[in-house]
């Protein structure tokens, strides 16, 4: 009997491998594991503070003591690393973000506490100035302009101070030109040859960062936008060129930020460079999933897993995600 579908497919039927759970497991190309996760956390001054971030359901700002407890759970779950972000008092924020240079600032105290009490978890610290400036920009503002070279010099100093406090990986996210090379040199001069640099190599001028700005208290402060230093969302080739400079300057790992709307960039970066590539599933990506799930419009758990697997499929070696603990718990239940 001649079957028209057999004639057309030449007997090649894709559904054979999809017919049962066991065949699907057998041919599954990508897997998400707890080793893929980096957990971004928000820190506030004080003790015993756990403060929900309204725009990010399920995410809290924590004082250092509570962060240490949360980090212990994360370490027990097998999460390899945390990325820390401070929400400091408004009175400490100024035009140049000078508090970033204080050895005992919130971020450095948190690093010391984490390294002392939870040595198994890696600590990744950001050197951008936005948590420290009165205007919410990532760099030093002079006469309406974010000045590049002065910002880089200050970032390099901040990086050394963060490394002195015990930071394992410095993650420059302020997109100033030359920053990776200058920071590498400064770290090496200070004897921190083993402190790595995870470059936020391709950071786009995105509207997906909104909830994060609430979390660190810069939302109301930011004047203007960050288009003179972040990459235009329209540009892919420019992003690869920017990353190439960071690779030349000595980055150890590369980051793409935001994540899901920029999977093409993840893929291109992985093809172009021999370095680990990470995606940052940013606050707005997290919040839109949570909001839709809370309304019953999507299955939040499944969408969470699907987005993270998509990063793996796009070539990412790992994902910075606010879902990290939730995912790690779900993965450990699955066994
Ligand atoms: C700035 C910075 C941003 C994020 C982390 N560090 C972007 C911004 O505020 O412009 C965003 C992270 C997120 O949205 O989850 N250096």
Tell me the domain boundaries of the chain: 31-334
Comparing CA positions, the residue from 84, 83, 82, 102 lying closest to residue 92 is 102
pLDDT in tens, 296-328: 999 999 999 999 999 999 999 999 999 999 999
pTM exceeding 0.90: yes
- Per-residue pLDDT at 219: 84
Of the candidates 226, 257, 270, 290, the residue annotated as catalytic is: 257
Comparing CA positions, the residue from 334, 332, 326, 324 lying closest to residue 122 is 324
**What is the whole-number distance in angstroms between the Cα of residue 234 and the centre of ligand 1?**
19
- 245 falls in which pLDDT band (50, 70, 90)? very high
**Ligand 1 near 209 CB (within 6 A):** yes
Known catalytic membership, residue 227:
no
Contact 183, 172 (CB under 8 A): yes
Does pLDDT of 89 surpass 80? Answer: yes
Does pLDDT of 2 surpass 90? Answer: no
Which of 212, 217, 226, 230 most suits a substitution to test ligand 1, by most atoms within 8 Å of the C-beta?
A: 212
User: Quick one: which atom of ligand 1 is closest to the CA of 174?
Assistant: 16
- 286 falls in which pLDDT band (50, 70, 90)? very high
CATH number of 31-334: 3.20.20.70
Tell me the C-alpha distance between 284 and 54, whole Å.
Answer: 12
User: Quick one: which atom of ligand 1 is closest to the CA of 136?
Assistant: 9
Tell me the C-alpha distance between 84 and 124, whole Å.
Answer: 7
Tell me the C-alpha distance between 312 and 318, whole Å.
Answer: 7
**Ligand 1 near 307 CB (within 6 A):** no
Minimum CA distance residue for ligand 1 atom 2:
173
| Alpha-carbon torsion angle 9, 11, 15, 18, nearest 10 | -140
**Ligand 1 near 130 CB (within 6 A):** yes
**Ligand 1 near 212 CB (within 6 A):** yes
Contact 201, 262 (CB under 8 A): no
**Ligand 1 near 282 CB (within 6 A):** yes
**What is the whole-number distance in angstroms between the Cα of residue 221 and the centre of ligand 1?**
14
Tell me the C-alpha distance between 127 and 133, whole Å.
Answer: 12
**Ligand 1 near 176 CB (within 6 A):** no
- 1 falls in which pLDDT band (50, 70, 90)? low
Q: What is the mean pLDDT of residues 273-299?
A: 98
Q: What share of the chain is helix, strand, coil (3-state, %, to 5)?
A: 45, 20, 35
Q: What is the mean pLDDT of residues 15-32?
A: 98
Q: What is the mean pLDDT of residues 255-264?
A: 98
Does pLDDT of 335 surpass 70? Answer: no
**Ligand 1 near 283 CB (within 6 A):** yes
Q: How crowded is the C-beta side of 128, counted as CA atoms within 13 Å? A: 28
**How many other β-carbons are positioned within 10 Å of the β-carbon of residue 33?**
12
User: Quick one: which atom of ligand 1 is closest to the CA of 138?
Assistant: 16
User: Quick one: which atom of ligand 1 is closest to the CA of 286?
Assistant: 15
**Ligand 1 near 226 CB (within 6 A):** yes
Of the candidates 203, 226, 270, 312, the residue annotated as catalytic is: 203
Known catalytic membership, residue 203:
yes
Express as a percent the part of the chain with pLDDT over 90.
Answer: 95
């Amino acid at each position: 009997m001649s079957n028209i579908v057999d004639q057309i497919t030449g007997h090649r039927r894709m559904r054979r491998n999809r017919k049962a759970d066991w065949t699907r497991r057998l041919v599954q190309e990508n897997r998400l594991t707890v080793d893929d996760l980096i957990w971004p956390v928000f820190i506030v001054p004080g003790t015993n503070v756990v403060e929900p971030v309204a725009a990010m359901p399920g995410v809290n700002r924590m004082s250092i003591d509570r962060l240490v407890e949360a980090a212990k759970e994360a370490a027990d779950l097998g999460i390899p690393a945390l990325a820390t972000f401070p929400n400091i008092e408004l009175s400490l924020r100024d035009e140049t973000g000078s508090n970033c240079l204080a050895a005992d600032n919130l971020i450095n105290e948190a690093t010391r506490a984490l390294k002392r009490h939870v040595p198994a978890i890696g600590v990744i610290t950001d050197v951008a100035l936005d948590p420290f400036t009165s205007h919410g920009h990532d760099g030093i503002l002079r006469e309406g302009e974010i000045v590049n070279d002065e910002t880089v010099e200050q970032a390099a100093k901040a990086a050394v101070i963060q490394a002195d406090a015990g930071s394992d990986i410095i993650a420059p996210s302020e997109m100033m030109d030359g920053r990776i090379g200058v920071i590498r040199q400064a770290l090496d001069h200070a004897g921190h040859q083993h402190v790595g640099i995870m470059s936020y190599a391709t950071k786009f001028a995105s509207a997906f960062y909104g909830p994060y700005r609430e979390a660190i208290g810069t939302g109301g402060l930011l004047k203007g936008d960050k288009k003179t230093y972040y990459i235009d969302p329209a540009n892919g080739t420019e992003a690869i060129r920017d990353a190439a400079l960071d690779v030349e300057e000595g980055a150890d790992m590369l980051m793409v930020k935001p994540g899901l709307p920029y999977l093409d960039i993840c893929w291109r970066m992985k093809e172009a460079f021999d370095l680990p590539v990470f995606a940052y599933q940013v606050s707005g990506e997290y919040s839109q999933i949570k909001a839709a799930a809370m309304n019953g419009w999507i299955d939040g758990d499944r969408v969470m897993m699907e987005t993270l697997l998509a990063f793996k499929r796009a070539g990412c070696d790992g994902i910075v995600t606010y879902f990290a603990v939730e995912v790690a718990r779900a993965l450990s239940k699955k066994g």
